[in-house]
Amino acid sequence: MLTLYDSAVSGNAYKVRLILGHLGLPVKRIEMNVDDGSTRAPGFLEVNRNGKVPAIVLEDGTALSESDAILYYFAQGTPYWPEDRLERARVLQWMFFEQYSHEPSIAVVRHWVAHLGKTPQNEPALPARIAAGYRALDVMEDHLKASAYFVAGRYTIADIALYAYTHVAHEGGFDLGRYPAINAWLARVAGQPGHIHITD
Amino acid sequence: MLTLYDSAVSGNAYKVRLILGHLGLPVKRIEMNVDDGSTRAPGFLEVNRNGKVPAIVLEDGTALSESDAILYYFAQGTPYWPEDRLERARVLQWMFFEQYSHEPSIAVVRHWVAHLGKTPQNEPALPARIAAGYRALDVMEDHLKASAYFVAGRYTIADIALYAYTHVAHEGGFDLGRYPAINAWLARVAGQPGHIHITD
């Protein structure tokens, strides 16, 4: 069976549970604490030398990390990964947008506000991260005004990648009420067959 | 002809010039200033709504952004993108590592130190970014001790993605002398057919 090094507070780990849910693939989950250093302990570094969850171990013992690369691995040959070369590049464009322009603001603000609490270290950095988060949401809203999903007019791993932290952005204080197109898309994603909740 | 919205100071833009050089594809280059707000001006936002270089416009007028997604697009059907499903996922794993754990420290420190200069805004953030940069280099060094390239034993777009900012990390003050395996890999990359220099 697949083994997922998981975290209940990580949207990145939730992405993996989402695609496995859609595909009906069972997985053994190992809950990791992302704040106490255990993802940087020697045992886990053998699974992911970069010391981050999620990481997944395949049935043959091969370990794979980086949430969006794991999504790609499982989406091969399924409707969640398009056939067309440009559409595939476009899925990746949105996934790299997610990891560079969205996650470091929206996910990090949520983690600081909802889980760690404000500290002398993170509080000075908060306004710039919040502004960057709203810029990312603005980019998404403009795209979703004209498109039901991010790529190819249908639900792909680009939507899974962006859904994970967008749907809990309010936990970091982001006002999603400003974004009607995002809200309509969040509802479409949550209505997909096999969808599971982040707390499931 | 292809049109690249380019920047001489951007390693991300250099990645695109590198793969186009390997493939012998001619490109019209439009140099953008990444510090004066022109990447956030309305004309450019029609090319990349996220306001970042590089972006490339294909011959049919389609625009594509995110450097690593552009690498993927051009690598299709070439030796720079492996055939095997797991190797493909592994290439993406290293590219997401690059954008999340490497570029925000190594590229950003270089930009602050070598181009913008230290400011009251960036100076307090510098030590944490430098530490994160060395962690990323440590991960690369450990991998390259046992492998000539990042994936599949040969040069792929994972190497292009990681080469772009690693080979100029010293401009941000990183001491690459600590990393013999990285230095040997940098030389292997620079020896690839069609390799171009970042200032070419």
Helix (H, G, I), strand (E, B) or coil at A55: strand
The packing angle between helices B85-97 and B67-75, to 10°, is 160
pLDDT at A118 over 90: no
Which 65-84 residues of chain B touch chain A by CB within 8 A? 65-70, 72-73, 76
pLDDT of B165-193, one tens digit each? 999 999 999 999 999 999 999 999 999 99
Q: For residues B151 and B114, is the Cβ–Cβ distance under 8 A? A: no
CA dihedral B161, B163, B165, B166 (to 10 degrees): 130
The answer, yes or no, to whether residue B39 has pLDDT greater than 90, is: yes
Report the 10 Å Cβ neighbour count for B189. 18
Which residues neighbour B58 within 8 Å (Cβ) at sequence distance 6 or greater?
A: A86, B2, B64
Instruction: Report the alpha-carbon distance of residue A19 to residue A113 in Å, rounded.
Output: 27
Secondary structure of A79-102 in HEC code, one letter for each residue: CCCCCCHHHHHHHHHHHHHHHHHH
Q: How confident is the model at residue A120 (pLDDT cuts 50, 70, 90)?
A: confident
DSSP B10-42: -HHHHHHHHHHHHHT--EEEEE--SSSSGGGSH
Pick from A14-18, A123-127, B73-77, B86-90: least confident: A123-127
Share of chain A above pLDDT 90, in %: 94
Q: B173 to chain A, minimum CA–CA distance in Å?
A: 22
Indicate whether A121 pLDDT > 90: no
Residues A46-100: tens digit of each pLDDT: 999 999 999 999 999 999 999 999 999 999 999 999 999 999 999 999 999 999 9
What is residue B108's three-state secondary structure? helix
Nearest CB among B89, B142, B143 relative to A64 is that of B89
Band of the pLDDT at A180, cuts 50, 70, 90? very high
A89 vs B100: CB contact, 8 Å cut-off? no
* pLDDT, tens only, B72-81: 999 999 999 9
pTM above 0.90, yes or no: yes
Which residues in chain A have Cβ-Cβ distances shorter than 8 Å to B99?
A: 96, 99-100
- Amino acid code (one letter) for A108: V
The alpha-carbon gap from B55 to the nearest alpha carbon of chain A, in Å, equals 11
Residue A191's pLDDT is 97
Residues 109-148 of A with CB under 8 A from B: 124-125, 139, 142-143
For A12-50, write each residue's pLDDT tens digit: 999 999 999 999 999 999 999 998 999 999 999 999 999
Q: How far apart are the first and last CA of chain B?
A: 19
- Identify which has the larger pLDDT, B123 or B143: B143
Residue A109 contacts residue A150 (beta carbons within 8 Å): no
Q: What is the pLDDT of residue A200?
A: 86
Mean pLDDT of B3-26: 97
pLDDT recorded at residue B121 = 83
Look up residue A79 and give its two tokens: 């409707």
Q: Report the distance separating Cα A132 and Cα A153, nearest Å.
A: 27
